């Protein structure tokens, strides 16, 4: 079951399944307007990482633990249903030790606080993450110092980090196609992916990084299932 989910993962279309797609200390961002599927997209990346027996630390600044848990369970169930996998409950139980959920209130989040909690987990051999997911950090203000602090923490601990970045309908991108939320932070991010509504589908556009022949990929995100569609 694990092999099937790994080998037939639609993330392959985007070059997001290789070890080098986001190396140690690197940052990735998924940008989209509210409600378009940023969290679901990153949960699929997280599940793929967990299937390869690597640990995910999911940091939520908006949702409580039970809601984040529900995201993972629903996306996993949809993936298993799509593959007609039997005994998926046992595989789910096998994956759970590879995920740790940590929540903060937006106003209470700081890199020193995260470092303290992360250090506690690692020094006591409770959990050592391979990848961080930071979901819900506001990118509208000047957060460069905070992102630089996170970059230093990730470099020191040898992890990579994915962020959700909320964009706004009324804001035009820069001439190079980068939404304003990431414009002044481009140098700190290695990969950036944008989800753009297009008819009944959500188009997946590579803004930065990844080995694709063109930024305008054929990959689509299905708003009905919140899954990346497989290439035909």
What pLDDT, on the 0 to 100 scale, is given for residue 213? 43
Q: What is the pLDDT of residue 8?
A: 61
Nearest Cα to 163, choosing from 180, 176, 150, 145? 150
pLDDT tens digits for the chain (232 residues)? 666 666 566 565 566 655 557 889 999 999 999 999 999 999 999 998 999 999 999 999 999 999 999 999 999 988 888 777 666 888 899 999 999 999 999 888 999 999 999 999 999 999 999 999 999 999 998 999 999 999 999 999 999 999 999 999 888 787 778 999 999 999 999 999 999 988 788 888 889 887 644 455 567 888 777 788 765 4
Counting beta carbons within 10 angstroms of the beta carbon of residue 112, is it exposed (0 to 12), middle (13 to 18) or buried (19 or more)? exposed
Fold category of 2-17+25-227 in CATH: Rossmann fold (3.40.50)
> What pLDDT is attached to residue 214?
45
pTM metric for this prediction: 0.90
Q: What is the pLDDT of residue 13?
A: 59
Q: Number of helices (H) and strands (E) in the chain: give both, helices first.
A: 7, 9
């Amino acid at each position: 079951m694990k092999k099937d989910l790994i080998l037939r993962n639609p993330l392959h279309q985007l070059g997001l399944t290789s070890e080098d797609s986001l190396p140690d200390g690197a940052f990735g961002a998924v940008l989209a307007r509210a409600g378009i599927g940023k969290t679901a997209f990153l949960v699929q990346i997280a599940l793929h990482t967990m299937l390869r027996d690597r640990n995910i630390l999911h940091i939520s600044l908006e949702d409580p633990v039970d809601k984040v848990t529900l995201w993972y369970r629903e996306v996993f169930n949809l993936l298993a249903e799509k593959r007609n996998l039997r005994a998926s409950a046992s595989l789910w139980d096998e994956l759970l030790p590879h995920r740790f959920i940590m929540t903060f209130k937006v106003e209470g989040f700081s890199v020193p606080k995260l470092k303290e909690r992360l250090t506690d987990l690692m020094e006591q051999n409770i959990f050592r993450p391979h990848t961080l997911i930071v979901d819900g950090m506001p990118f509208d203000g000047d957060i460069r110092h905070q992102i630089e602090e996170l970059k230093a923490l990730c470099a020191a601990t040898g992890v990579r980090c994915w962020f959700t970045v909320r964009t706004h309908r009324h804001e035009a991108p820069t001439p190079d196609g980068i939404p304003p939320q990431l414009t002044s932070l481009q140098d700190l991010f290695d990969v950036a992916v944008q989800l753009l509504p297009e008819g009944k589908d959500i188009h997946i556009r590579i803004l930065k990084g990844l080995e694709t022949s063109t930024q305008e990929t054929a990959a689509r995100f299905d708003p009905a299932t919140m899954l990346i569609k497989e290439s035909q």
